[in-house]
Structure formats: structure tokens, C-alpha cells
């Protein structure tokens, strides 16, 4: 049996699922996803520990190590950034940073090498630095930070290192950092947040956390920090989420849902903002959204959250989430379409999807389609005639 309905496009997959998994069989160079960005032409760029890939929605184009002008420095990529000039910054695990034109694929390898940051320029000899994160600020300058308390500012318009600076030496933790719209740098210290007092980054102000809120810091590993325009700063440590209000200098913890079926070594690794300025994050294989009133909305659950940890979370302009993992590959998640595996079962999957998701009045659905056997094996796919629903009759071929 075949049903054609003129509706927006969907990929072919189980009817009751709102995600697609791309793995090495789909064309990824590796299943470990370390970063995902989107260029101004709409292409996705995906970093792995075995090279770089560009995704056009149908296939993957690979970039590997070599001697040509389109080859990258190493295959092990830490993270990516697209700047406002549509240039792709490629940050490698061996401390090199490449710059690619995503239209011509021309690569400048090891731009402004870290070795150029020397005592003659900054009065401090640097042997090496791990660039743990690259981000751009409102002045189109790039921050490269890591190696505990050292941070670097790079001007991409007038290519040169502007300055090196160090946060207080009593806070030698590996931490994430954030630059707000005023050009101030926020980072976590040994007992709370620190913020540069002005845009010269010469001094930092400490905001100690109350003792009863202090987590067991241990050896931090890039705990994420997110500055919000309403004067709040979110940060996480392991399995705890905190909020700081700059207006009164107060801290409070935001309780997180716990899933005993997930891997218990999961932690919050990153934040992103959706189109309405709401933070989105992953924890224990679940994706959540923090509402403006600090309530938490559940968006999606990874099917293998008991085995696989996440590595990256990205949201494209259409609101689609891209969820990287440490071995499975990359999930494409349309949170606007609820996963029917978690929705209330009403009649059968065919009727439920037609009425609940596609808005077809029940009276327009033939009675024989409302029978109980329409429960499993449904798939949908776009054709020139519209949306085609297909039922698989297991053991007897496909019934269309």
C-alpha cells in the first residue's frame, strides 16, 4: 500500500524516529566526531581523529594529510571555527592551526605558528601551548586558549599575535573560557568565576563561590562556560550545572535530571544557544534546553546512551541538532518532530503520524488504515508526488 501526501521533505527512516545516524558506512572518515561547523554556503564541516570531511547533505568529501595545497597539517583535529569572512580555522591536537578557504579548499598550514610567540614579542618564552579552544569576539579577533593559565589573542584582519596574557597563577586548571560582548574574558578559577576587569586583560576580578556550593574541582577538563546577555553566566563541572548572576555576584545550582541507565561517567562538555537565546546542552546522552525561567526541557535521548559518550553538539540555522559521538558517528536530530518511541501511543503509528504530526483530519483517513496491524515497519520518504509512507511486511517483502 502506498500513500502520497504533499508535505515537506523528510529523509527515509523509521516513521517513529526523528534522527538519522551518519557513520563510516555513510562516508565519514571516522566515528569519533571532535567538532562540527557550518559555512556560509550551508555545507557542514566535520572534524574527526582521522581527517576532515565536508557534508553536502548527501555525501562526504574527505581532506587528509599530504603535500598539496588542499591538504591539512594532521589528521587529528581538535576543533573548528568559521569566521565572518567564511574562512575555516582548523585546530589540530599537535598545536598547529590551519586556515582553509571552504570554497576553493586552499589550505594555509600552520598559520602564525605558536613558535612565533616568543620572549622577544611578549617577554615570556613559550615552548608549546595546547590550543584548547578558538572563538571569535565582536571585534573579529580570535582567542586561542589553553595550557592552563595562558591565553592568546590573534588579529585575523592584520595577521599577527596581539598579545599573550596569563590569568592568576593560583588557578592552574584546564578550563573553558568565554568572551562577552564587552570584550571581557570569563573563566573558571580554583574557587569560582574570574572576569577580566577591562578589555586590556591585565587584571582579573574573582567571584568566590560559597563553600556550600563549591564542587569537588579535582582536575578540571575544559568545564564549559557560557555568558548570557541577561547578565548570567552558566558553567558546569562534571555532573553539576551552576548559574552566576553578575548583578549581585550570587551563585546557585540548577538541578539536573539523572538517568541511571546512562553511562555514569558522562558530564556536561559544552553549551550552545538556540535561536531564542536559550542554552542547549547534553548530559548523560540526553539533550536538554534551559528555559528563561531556568526550567529544563528534554529534547532528545541517544539510543545508545548506556554505551557511547557524546563529543560535540551543534545547531544549524534550521534548528536541526548535530550530535557527535566518541565512536558511533554523527546524529542529525530534528527536535521539531517528536520521536514517536517516546510519545503516547494512541491508535497505531500510521494514524498517529498522520493526525498528530502531519495534521490530517481523522475523517480523511480510510477505515482500513486504522487497523491495529499498522503498528510497525513504517517508513517515509520524499518523492516528486509528495511524502510516501511504506509498510514493511517482515518475511513477505514490502507491502506498498
- What span, in angstroms and rounded, lies between the C-alpha atoms of 13 and 18? 8
Coil, strand, or helix at residue 340?
helix
Q: Average pLDDT, whole number, for the chain?
A: 76
Give the predicted TM-score (pTM) of the model. 0.74
| pLDDT above 50 for 8 | no
| pLDDT above 50 for 4 | no
Q: What is the pLDDT of residue 266?
A: 85
Q: What is the pLDDT of residue 44?
A: 97
**CATH fold for domain 33-111:** Thrombin, subunit H (2.40.10)
- What span, in angstroms and rounded, lies between the C-alpha atoms of 77 and 287? 24
Question: What's the average model confidence in pLDDT over 190-210?
Answer: 79
Using a 10 angstrom Cβ sphere, with 0-12 exposed, 13-18 middle and 19 or more buried, the burial of residue 145 is buried
Under the banding of pLDDT at 50, 70 and 90, the label for residue 385 is: low
Q: The cell 560535540 sits on which residue?
A: 312
Q: DSSP alpha helices (H): ranges in the chain? A: 119-122, 349-352
> Which one-letter DSSP state was computed for residue 157?
T
Give tens-digit pLDDT for 280-336: 999 999 999 999 999 999 888 898 898 999 999 999 998 999 999 999 999 999 877
Q: What is the pLDDT of residue 199?
A: 60
Under the banding of pLDDT at 50, 70 and 90, the label for residue 144 is: low
Q: What is the pLDDT of residue 358?
A: 72
Give tens-digit pLDDT for 216-228: 766 556 688 899 9
Q: Which of these, 347, 349, 314, 350, lies nearest to 333 by C-alpha position?
A: 314
| pLDDT above 50 for 48 | yes
- What span, in angstroms and rounded, lies between the C-alpha atoms of 303 and 323? 12
Under the banding of pLDDT at 50, 70 and 90, the label for residue 395 is: very low
We find that the CATH architecture of domain 19-32+115-342 is 7 Propeller (2.130)
Give tens-digit pLDDT for 81-106: 887 788 898 888 887 888 899 999 99
Q: What is the pLDDT of residue 217?
A: 67
Under the banding of pLDDT at 50, 70 and 90, the label for residue 357 is: low
Least confident of 19-28, 192-201, 253-262: 192-201
- What span, in angstroms and rounded, lies between the C-alpha atoms of 334 and 158? 40
| pLDDT above 50 for 339 | yes
Q: What is the pLDDT of residue 55?
A: 96
Under the banding of pLDDT at 50, 70 and 90, the label for residue 247 is: very high
Q: Which of these, 200, 195, 149, 185, lies nearest to 170 by C-alpha position?
A: 149
Under the banding of pLDDT at 50, 70 and 90, the label for residue 32 is: very high
**Which of 32-46, 114-128, 164-178 tops mean pLDDT?**
32-46
Under the banding of pLDDT at 50, 70 and 90, the label for residue 197 is: confident
**Residue extents of the structural domains in the chain:** 1-18+346-400, 19-32+115-342, 33-111
Amino acid at each position: 500500500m502506498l500513500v502520497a501526501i504533499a508535505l515537506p521533505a523528510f529523509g527515509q527512516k523509521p516513521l517513529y524516529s526523528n534522527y538519522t545516524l551518519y557513520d563510516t558506512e555513510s562516508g565519514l572518515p571516522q566515528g569519533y566526531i571532535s567538532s562540527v561547523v557550518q559555512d556560509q554556503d550551508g555545507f557542514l564541516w566535520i572534524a574527526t581523529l582521522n581527517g576532515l570531511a565536508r557534508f553536502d547533505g548527501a555525501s562526504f568529501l574527505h581532506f587528509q594529510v599530504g603535500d598539496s595545497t588542499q591538504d591539512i597539517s594532521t589528521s587529528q583535529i581538535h576543533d573548528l571555527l568559521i569566521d565572518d569572512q567564511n574562512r575555516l580555522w582548523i585546530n589540530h591536537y599537535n598545536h598547529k592551526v590551519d586556515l582553509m578557504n571552504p570554497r576553493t579548499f586552499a589550505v594555509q598550514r600552520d598559520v602564525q605558528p605558536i613558535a612565533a610567540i616568543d620572549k622577544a614579542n611578549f617577554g615570556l618564552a613559550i615552548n608549546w601551548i595546547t590550543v584548547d579552544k578558538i572563538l571569535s569576539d565582536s571585534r573579529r579577533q580570535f582567542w586561542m586558549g589553553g595550557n592552563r593559565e595562558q591565553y592568546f589573542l590573534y588579529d585575523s584582519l592584520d595577521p599577527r599575535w596581539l598579545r599573550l596574557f596569563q590569568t592568576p597563577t593560583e588557578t592552574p586548571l584546564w578550563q573553558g573560557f568565554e568572551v562577552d560582548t564587552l570584550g571581557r574574558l570569563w573563566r573558571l578559577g580554583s574557587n569560582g568565576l574570574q572576569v577580566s576587569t577591562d578589555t586590556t586583560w591585565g587584571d582579573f576580578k574573582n567571584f568566590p563561590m560559597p563553600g556550600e556550593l563549591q564542587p569537588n574541582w579535582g582536575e578540571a577538563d575544559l568545564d564549559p562556560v557560557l555568558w548570557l546577555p541577561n547578565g548570567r553566566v552558566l558553567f558546569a563541572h562534571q555532573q553539576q550545572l551552576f548559574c552566576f548572576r553578575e548583578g549581585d555576584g550570587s551563585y546557585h545550582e540548577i538541578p539536573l535530571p539523572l538517568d541511571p541507565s546512562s553511562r555514569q561517567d558522562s558530564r556536561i562538555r559544552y553549551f550552545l544557544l538556540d535561536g531564542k537565546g536559550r542554552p542547549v546542552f547534553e548530559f548523560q546522552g540526553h539533550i536538554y534546553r534551559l528555559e528563561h525561567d531556568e526550567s529544563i526541557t528534554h529534547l532528545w535521548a541517544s539510543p545508545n546512551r548506556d554505551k557511547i559518550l557524546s563529543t560535540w553538539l551543534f545547531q544549524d540555522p534550521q534548528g536541526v541538532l548535530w550530535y557527535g559521538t566518541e565512536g558511533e558517528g554523527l546524529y542529525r536530530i530534528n527536535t521539531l518532530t517528536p520521536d514517536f518511541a517516546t510519545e503516547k501511543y494512541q491508535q497505531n503509528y500510521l494514524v498517529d503520524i498522520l493526525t498528530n504530526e502531519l495534521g490530517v483530519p481523522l475523517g480523511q483517513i480510510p477505515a482500513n488504515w486504522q487497523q491495529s496491524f499498522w503498528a510497525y515497519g513504517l517508513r517515509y520518504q520524499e518523492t516528486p508526488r509528495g511524502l510516501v509512507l511504506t509498510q514493511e511486511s517482515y518475511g513477505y517483502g514490502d507491502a506498498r
